[in-house]
Chain A
Amino acid sequence: MFAQIEKLGASVIASFDELGRFGLFLNSVVWSIFSRPFGFNDLLKQIAFIGAGSMPIILLSGLFTGMVLALQFYAVMVDFGAVELMGAAVSKSLIQELGPVMTALMVIARVGSATCAEIAIMRNEQQFDALTCMAISPYRYIMAPRLLAAIVSIPLLTAFYNLIGIFGGYVVGVYLKDLSGAVYMQTILETITWADLKMSFIKSVIFAVIIIWIAMGKGFFVHLEKGVSGAEAVGRVTTKAVVVSAIVMLFADYIISSFLI
């Protein structure tokens, strides 16, 4: 009995310890953005990796999501004689919810895992020690460009996801279900407001910070993983980074939606 309570207490303390460590880590990364020299080339390199590199997967998944949404909405709306509203329904669901969330999940799978593994291996190979000994802050040189690149790239990826999703819905609605293209577009313009776009943007920026923060932090503290080291530790933190960032992102999604809807 006491052993169980002790175990529970230890895990609660460890969780708070990790939360504090991650808080300090984010604080150091954010402050390092303002120190010089600013790594503009590194920022562009990361934007190319996170943004341009993710574009094919975002366009493909966005297209199919929009198409599936149109099919689903059509099946329901046709019974109520409301198929003219399909454009509004597809675009509203994409912009408010599915666009930011699905983009974030794609980025977690592609960028979050790669970033975490890369940083964990850098830690294992003493690359952060080497940077520190050269009086180069790993926060400024390695982390800050990744954080900024995520904040720039993920909202843009979300916008592309929304647009291609709406196009996917258009293809299904107009070419497969014989809806009027003009009506599809008109209902979108009448329904979508600045508040919807603002919500999509706010969500994507917050998701960007969550994803890259957890990926970088998990990799950076790989040496603190208990009971494992080397390649096994890299694998474990990468899995944790993907799972934790997805859960935290979805939780944040609910919180933001509850405030903005």
Chain B
Amino acid sequence: MTEQSQILIDVNNLDSAYGDRQVLHDINLQVEQGEILVIMGGSGSGKSTLLRNMLGLMKPRTGSIEFGDINICHATKAEISKLRRSMGVAFQGGALLSSLSVGDNIKLPLRQHTDLDENTISIMTRLKLELMNLADHEDLMPSELSGGMLKRAGLARAVIMDPKILFFDEPSAGLDPVTSVELDQLILNLRSAMNMTIIVVTHELESAFTIADRIAVLFDGELVITGTVDEIKACTDERVVNLINRKPRKNQLDADKYLSRLTKGAN
């Protein structure tokens, strides 16, 4: 991190849990203005929980997440609402409203938050649809789109207000390799065209190495390392090495516990 870089999001000592099950342990993470930060980790590592905390969809047990002066964990409704208008979120499955057409979905934030006339809103919508290679799909319903199209439509909606920060949950999940590469390119184009700060949550190594300025690796709810692609590749931590080399976890087998699980309920 250079001294001139501006910290846009500052996560401090974050602990998060679902009921009694603690998912994130003491996470400390900074996101710089204009960078693409990839949060990477295996299934169940806590990356989606970290994202939900950063979006204010979930309250952490302890710790803080600061967007400039605003700590989203303790902010008022008005502050969070204002903050969210400067953010865009592209969800894993697109999360388009199923009762609205693709065009109406993308227009929704503009209709709700601006006084722009319908012609201007339509032109802005078509601009974003062109950017996402979804021209001529404006009148389709979400149920008529493929998985990749849903993600791109969700991305179009996320950037319609030209947000400062874009969150993207699992851009490559469930997509074929070509569509996945296209989405990666789209993310890079968005950053260069709109100077957005982009936080991507993914478990796809190739995608992460292509788009990331920095990568934060989570393992079992702990932040193992945050660094550039080269730093991650050079990391000697076994967990990171295993993740990069796609090595399966070695579970230490406790003989007593194993036997007790097998014979549970038997006389």
Contacts and interface: CB of A to CB of B under 8 A. Distances in A.
Interface residues of B, number: 25
B95 interface: yes
Contacts of A122: 97-98
Contacts of B82: 135
Nearest to A41: B111
Interface residues of A, number: 16
B98 A126 contact: no
Given A136-B108, A136-B112, A130 B84 contact: no
Interface string B90-123: 0111011111000000001101110000000000
Interface in B50-107: 55, 57, 80-82, 84-85, 87, 89, 91-93, 95-99
Given A129-B57, A130-B89, A136 B109 contact: yes
Nearest to B92: A126
A209 interface: no
B84 A135 contact: yes
Contacts of A131: 97
B58 to A, nearest CB: 10
Contacts of B98: 121-122, 125, 127
Nearest to B83: A135
Nearest to B142: A125
Contact of A134 (B57, B84, B92): B84
Interface in A24-52: 37
Interface string A10-28: 0000000000000000000
A141 B81 CA distance: 15
A132 interface: yes
Contacts of A255: none
Contacts of A141: 112
A133 B109 CA distance: 10
Contact of B93 (A118, A125, A136): A125
B57 A133 contact: yes
A130 B154 CA distance: 9
28 contacts: A37-B111, A37-B112, A122-B97, A125-B93, A125-B95, A126-B91, A126-B92, A126-B95, A127-B97, A127-B98, A129-B55, A129-B57, A129-B91, A130-B157, A131-B97, A132-B57, A132-B84, A133-B84, A133-B89, A134-B89, A134-B108, A134-B109, A134-B112, A135-B84, A135-B112, A136-B108, A136-B112, A141-B112
The 4 closest A-B pairs by CB, nearest first: A130-B95, A135-B84, A133-B89, A126-B95
Interface of A: 37, 118, 121-122, 125-127, 129-136, 141
Interface of B: 55, 57, 80-82, 84-85, 87, 89, 91-93, 95-99, 108-109, 111-113, 154, 157, 167
